[in-house]
Every structure is written in C-alpha cells, then in structure tokens.
C-alpha cells in the first residue's frame, strides 16, 4: 500500500515537473509572443487606417493642389516676375504698336524698393514724351489698362501745342518681386578710362586695322583687348549667337542661326523673319541678352550686311546712353542690294557716353507687300574720330 502511494506521488511529481517545464519554457514564451504580435497587429492596423484615410483624401488634395496652382498662375500672370530694361522696351513697343501715338525716346529711372506688409517689391519707372490727338491718347491709356500684366500710370502731363495735337509725358511704373538687373555703366566708365593705358599688342599680325573686343565673362565684367582707340574697334564678330529674336507683335516669326557664309572670321549671324501680314509698322528685333556691347565715345558705327533679296524694309540699331535714353540709329531706308554691303552711320553728338547696343532691327513701313526676308550680319564695329 505504501509502495503504491509512493509510486503515485512520484508520478504526480513528474507530471507537475513536465507541466511546469512546458508552461514556463514552451507555453509562456508563445503567449508572450502572441501578445506582442497582437499589439503589433493593432499598431499596423491603426497605421493602415490612417493611410486609408490619406488615400481617401487624395482626390481632395489633388483638387486643392490644382486650385492652388491656378491661383498662383493667375497671380503670376498679373505681375512681372523679373524686370529688365530690354523687356520693358519690348512691352512698350507692343503697347505702341498700331497706335497713332508718336514718341522718340524712353527714359528709365533707378529702381525703387517698396514694402507691402512683409513682402518687398521693386519698381522701375519709364518716362515717355509723346505727341497725339486726344482720342488717340484715350485709346493708348485703355491699351495700358487692358495689358495682360499690371502697369501703373504714375503721372500724366498734357498740354496743347497745336490744333487737336497734344504734347504729353507719361510715367509708367513696372513692378516686380525680384530685384531689377542694373546697368553697369558706372563700373564700365572706369574700364573705358583705362583704355589709353593699354599698349598695342606687339604680336598682332595686322597693322592696318586695330580692334577692340568687349565681351562679358560669367560675372558680366567686360573683357577688353585693344590696341589703338583712334581706329576701328570690333564690337561683335557674331562668332556666337548672343541675341534672341522677338517681333513687335506676337504673330511675327523668326529665327537666328550661325552661318558659315561670312565676311570675316568663321561665322556670321543669319536672321530669317516673316511678318505674316502687312502692317503700318512691322518690326523684327535682334536683342542682345547675355552680351553687353559698349561704345565709349562718338564715332562712326558700321556693320557688314549680306542681303539675299531686295525690298523696302528699313534697318537700324538701337543704342541706350547712360541716362537711359534710347536712340534709333538708321543704317538704311531701303534694301536695294544683294550680297555683302558695309553700312555705316555717324553717331549723334547728343548721346551721353558710354552707350550700350540694345538691339538690331528690321522694319517695314506703310503696309509694304514684302513680309519676309533673310540677312547675314557680320563685323559690328565702331571707328572713333
């Protein structure tokens, strides 16, 4: 009897040991692991729900994003993101296009900085003297008011000079969020003062024609190679395309390319343009963008032009002096030749030097039937007196 009890007790003890081993070393870790997995599952389930909510809002976010882009584009369409005087000139030319308002100069003021709440804005003022009738003046003011970007009329002075003709001066403010690009005439005046100190190149192969080349490096600082300022100076050899094409209205088409048919050097600049429709005054402009070409004093400006055809179009160059006043230099009033021809013009004495070459232009007059053409330009140079 005693033996049976002892055997039973032993069995119970063994069962308890096995149970404890199973519980603590097998079952309990599995329970802990299962609990941890449940907590992880809850966390991931919560994240999944959050992401589902985000995905469900995608359409709303896309709609808000699209609406924000429309508002930004609408705001950008009303303001100038940046201001350059050459762009303002083209804007003024677009406004004056097909109007009966006459003007011969545009004067720019220095940029002003204004503050609206926490936003700084910059302003350039353009002062334009004009002559026109009262009705033409009203039409001109309506064109300014209806222009796609905001232009503010700051001041308007009017006086009568003869029957039905008004002499007026208008000040237009152009606003931008970024600082306007300054003309560096003051810095370049020092460059021109140093010209006489530069000695003639003893290694030059030519003694008949001395040349001055003015270009820009990455910091817009003129690089000068010069021998004798009393003779011819090369301003642009058109070895690279430093200009862009723009018409007096958006319908005018044109392109600029380098061409191997040249007068000197390796290349010339070829312009091909199409006015599309005859007009009172169509104009194709070759505007200097990244290269500044300076003229230090009065002289005779010249350029070689190759004509592929004859027509009644006019050709010229626009200069801007240190006061910001523009001068239209006429090179020819009629294209009456084919092949190469050297065009030259004595610069006016009233220009305040140094002056900068703004653009070259080709224009038609009084609804000319010729609406297209092609020319090569080479060797823009100045001969100082």
Q: Which of 19-23, 134-138, 323-327, 375-379 has the highest mean pLDDT?
A: 375-379
319 and 206 share one domain? yes
- Which comes out higher in pLDDT, residue 298 or 96? 298
The token duo for 36 is: 């941890």
250 and 355 share one domain? yes
- Among 176, 198, 216, the domain boundary falls at 176
| Structural domains in the chain (count) | 2
Band of pLDDT at residue 133, cut at 50, 70 and 90 = confident
Instruction: Determine the Cα–Cα distance for residues 52 and 39; give it in Å rounded to an integer.
Output: 20
> Is there a domain that residue 41 lies in?
no
170 and 192 share one domain? no
Contact 381, 235 (CB under 8 A): yes
Element spanning 89, H or E = helix 85-96
171 and 202 share one domain? no
Mean pLDDT (the chain) is 79
Residues 325-331: contacts with CB under 8 Å, at least 24 apart: 325/105, 325/106, 325/107, 325/352, 326/89, 326/105, 326/106, 326/358, 327/105, 327/351, 327/355, 328/104, 328/361, 329/301, 331/303, 331/305
171 and 189 share one domain? no
> Is there a domain that residue 265 lies in?
yes
**What's phi and psi for 345, nearest 5 deg?**
-155, 135
Band of pLDDT at residue 1, cut at 50, 70 and 90 = low
> Is there a domain that residue 91 lies in?
yes
* 3-class DSSP state of 347: coil
State mean pLDDT over 84-107. Answer: 79
228 and 324 share one domain? yes
* 3-class DSSP state of 21: helix
Q: Is the pLDDT of residue 108 over 90?
A: no
Residues 6+ apart with CB under 8 A from 258: 238, 239, 240, 241, 267, 268, 269, 270
Q: Is the pLDDT of residue 330 over 80?
A: yes
- Looking at residue 271, what is its pLDDT? 95
Instruction: Determine the Cα–Cα distance for residues 334 and 343; give it in Å rounded to an integer.
Output: 12
300 and 229 share one domain? yes
Question: Which stretch of 97-106, 170-179, 227-236 has the lowest confidence by average pLDDT?
Answer: 227-236
Q: What is the CATH number of the domain that holds 146?
A: 3.30.70.60
State mean pLDDT over 215-232. Answer: 44
Instruction: Determine the Cα–Cα distance for residues 358 and 105; give it in Å rounded to an integer.
Output: 14
Contact 143, 102 (CB under 8 A): no
169 and 192 share one domain? no
The gap between the terminal CA atoms of the chain, to the nearest Å, is: 144
Q: What is the CATH number of the domain that holds 252?
A: 2.60.120.260
* Residue 198 CA: distances (Å) to CA of 193, 336, 355, 356: 10, 41, 21, 22
Question: Which stretch of 116-125, 127-136, 220-229 has the lowest confidence by average pLDDT?
Answer: 220-229
- Looking at residue 219, what is its pLDDT? 37
204 and 172 share one domain? no
> Is there a domain that residue 247 lies in?
yes
* Residue 55 CA: distances (Å) to CA of 47, 48, 52, 168: 12, 10, 5, 62
Dmax over CA atoms of the chain, in Å, equals: 148
Instruction: Determine the Cα–Cα distance for residues 226 and 214; give it in Å rounded to an integer.
Output: 9
Band of pLDDT at residue 337, cut at 50, 70 and 90 = very high
State mean pLDDT over 29-43. Answer: 85
Q: Which of 35-44, 126-135, 161-170, 302-311 has the highest mean pLDDT?
A: 302-311
- Looking at residue 235, what is its pLDDT? 92
Residues 6+ apart with CB under 8 A from 311: 334, 335, 368, 370, 373
Which DSSP string do the residues of 208-267 spell out, in sequence order? Answer: S----EEEE-TT--EEEE-S-TTSEEEEE--SS--EEEEESSTT-EEEEEEES--SSSS-
257 and 358 share one domain? yes
Residues 6+ apart with CB under 8 A from 208: none
- Looking at residue 222, what is its pLDDT? 40
pLDDT in tens, 157-189: 888 777 778 888 898 988 887 654 444 333 344
Task: Give the structural domain span for 160.
Answer: 85-176
Percentage of the chain exceeding pLDDT 70 = 84
* Residue 263 CA: distances (Å) to CA of 151, 266, 269, 380: 44, 9, 11, 11
169 and 215 share one domain? no
Q: Is the pLDDT of residue 326 over 50?
A: yes
Contact 314, 307 (CB under 8 A): no
209 and 240 share one domain? yes
Nearest CA among 116, 159, 114 for reference residue 134: 159
Instruction: Determine the Cα–Cα distance for residues 97 and 197; give it in Å rounded to an integer.
Output: 46
pLDDT in tens, 341-367: 999 999 988 999 889 999 999 998 877
pLDDT in tens, 238-269: 999 889 999 888 888 999 999 999 998 899 99
């Amino acid at each position: 009897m005693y033996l049976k009890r002892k055997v039973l007790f032993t069995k119970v003890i063994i069962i308890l040991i096995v149970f404890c081993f199973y519980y603590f070393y097998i079952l309990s870790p599995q329970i802990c692991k299962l609990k941890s997995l449940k907590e992880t599952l809850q966390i991931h389930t919560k994240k999944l729900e959050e992401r589902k909510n985000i995905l469900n809002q995608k359409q709303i976010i896309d709609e808000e994003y699209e609406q924000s882009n429309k508002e930004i584009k609408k705001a950008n369409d009303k303001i100038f993101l940046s201001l350059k005087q050459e762009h303002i000139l083209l804007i003024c030319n677009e406004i004056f296009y097909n109007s009966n308002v006459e003007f011969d100069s545009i004067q720019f003021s220095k940029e002003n900085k204004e503050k609206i709440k926490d936003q700084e804005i910059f302003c350039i003022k353009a002062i334009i003297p004009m002559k026109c009738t009262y009705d033409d003046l009203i039409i001109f003011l309506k064109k300014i008011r209806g222009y796609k970007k905001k232009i503010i009329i700051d001041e308007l002075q009017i006086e009568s000079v003869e029957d039905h003709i008004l002499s007026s001066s208008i000040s237009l403010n152009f606003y931008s969020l970024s600082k306007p690009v300054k003309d560096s005439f003051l810095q370049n005046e020092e460059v021109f003062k140093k010209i006489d100190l530069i000695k003639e190149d003893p290694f030059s192969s030519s003694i008949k024609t001395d040349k001055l080349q003015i270009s820009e490096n990455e910091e817009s600082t003129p690089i000068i190679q010069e021998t004798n300022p009393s003779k011819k100076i090369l301003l642009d050899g058109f070895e690279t395309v430093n200009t862009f094409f723009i018409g007096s209205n958006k319908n005018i088409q044109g392109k600029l390319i380098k061409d191997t048919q040249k007068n000197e050097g390796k290349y010339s600049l070829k312009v091909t343009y199409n006015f599309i429709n005859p007009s009172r005054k169509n104009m194709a402009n070759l505007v200097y963008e990244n290269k500044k070409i300076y003229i230090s004093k009065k002289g005779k400006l010249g350029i070689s032009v190759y004509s592929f055809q004859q027509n009644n179009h006019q050709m010229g160059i626009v200069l801007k002096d240190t006061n910001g006043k523009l001068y239209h230099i006429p090179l020819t009033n009629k294209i009456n030749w084919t092949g190469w021809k050297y065009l030259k013009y004595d610069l006016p004495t009233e220009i305040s030097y140094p002056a900068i070459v703004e653009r070259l232009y080709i224009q038609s007059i009084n609804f000319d039937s010729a609406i297209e053409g092609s020319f090569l330009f080479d060797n823009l140079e100045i001969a100082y007196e």
